[in-house]
Structure 1
């Protein structure tokens, strides 16, 4: 009886040492880049500095860094930062990105800010 128990125990011990690997199906690598909606921003995206000035009036800040330019427009409702970069082959700089916030720094919808700032200048 002791021999049977010893053999059974040894068999269990050896079985536990074995390595089993299950093949996992390959998962495709998907990179998801979050995008911000651009609905309501058509009046600004792609505009040059002159177009922004016509729409919002004079910029409250004009910052240049290399070939990039940031024009900032402020109102009582919000602050809008527009980022202009030159086009391909050194073309005229146009808005490729914009950001908006309330005067206290709280987040705000970008399209709402564009609409509010355009109204202060008559929406030209």
Structure 2
């Protein structure tokens, strides 16, 4: 027990000599450069052969081509028109070119009534002939 007291005193003295590691502020990452919509170039619209007569048209022009749609679904940011004929079902998707601009066709999808995909250009041509 006599020896325990001096050993405890030495341990306490040594513990006082050890310092805690320095607290460092985390390295600051540079803020990412802010990009505005204007800094991005406009996304090119790739028009597949046979879709030229539809892509870029507004809803009125599409209705003149195909008649009244079976469905006219207004979405938050766009619109979907669906035209149905014996050979196929054509879904036409319209979105604004930019904020506040008119909605134009940006994409079309075509299928048979059983859900099988069909050539979009062939469907457009078939529905225009009716």
In which range does the TM-score fall when normalised by the shorter chain? 0.5 to 0.7
Question: Is the CA contact 2:70–2:84 (under 8 Å) kept in the aligned structure 1?
Answer: yes
Q: Structure 2, unaligned stretches of length 5 or more?
A: 1-45
Query: Which structure 1 residue ranges, 4+ long, deviate > 6 Å from structure 2?
Result: none
* 2:74 is the counterpart of 1:50: no
Question: Is the CA contact 2:110–2:118 (under 8 Å) kept in the aligned structure 1?
Answer: yes
TM value normalised by structure 1: 0.66
Give the structure 1 partner of residue 81 of structure 2.
71
Question: Is the CA contact 2:47–2:55 (under 8 Å) kept in the aligned structure 1?
Answer: no
Give the structure 1 partner of residue 72 of structure 2.
62
User: What is the CA deviation profile of residues 13-43 of structure 1, one whole-angstrom value per residue up to 9, with x for unaligned ones?
Assistant: xxxxxxxxxxxxxxxxxxxxxxx87100011
Higher relative contact order by CA 8 Å / sep ≥ 6: 1 or 2? 1
Give the structure 1 partner of residue 99 of structure 2.
89
Give the structure 2 partner of residue 18 of structure 1.
none
Give the structure 1 partner of residue 120 of structure 2.
110
TM value normalised by structure 2: 0.63
- Larger radius of gyration between Structure 1 and Structure 2: 2
How many positions carry a matched residue from both structures? Answer: 85
Question: Is the CA contact 2:92–2:107 (under 8 Å) kept in the aligned structure 1?
Answer: yes
**Aligned residues: CA RMSD:** 1.3
Question: Is the CA contact 2:71–2:81 (under 8 Å) kept in the aligned structure 1?
Answer: yes
